[in-house]
Amino acid sequence: MSQRTLTTRQALEMMAEAFNEPVENLSPETPRDSIPGWDSMGALMLIAELDERLGLELKAEVSREMKLVRHVLDFLAEHGALAP
């Protein structure tokens, strides 16, 4: 799959889908522990979405270290998948 980039809004929408959370509840500073759906199943959904949509491999160990929505956005940026 060819890699593409997402806007911040698209990235937030992808996370909202993975975590079964309204996108309006997510911002870069939203902490993981305030998102009920960002549990082990939600993390697996995010890993699958990143792989399917962008061809990115997010390892479970890295996923567990993410404590804010911003950490997911930073991961996307580091891998060239977040539009400037």
Series of mean pLDDT values for 10-residue runs along the chain (84 residues):
80 97 97 97 96 95 96 97 91
Question: Residue 1 has what pLDDT?
Answer: 42
Alpha carbon of residue 61 to chain centroid: 14
Rounded CA gap, 70 and 27, in Å?
A: 8
Question: Please, what are the domains in the chain?
Answer: 8-78 (1.10.1200.10)
Task: Supply the pTM of this predicted model.
Answer: 0.93
Rounded CA gap, 30 and 67, in Å?
A: 9
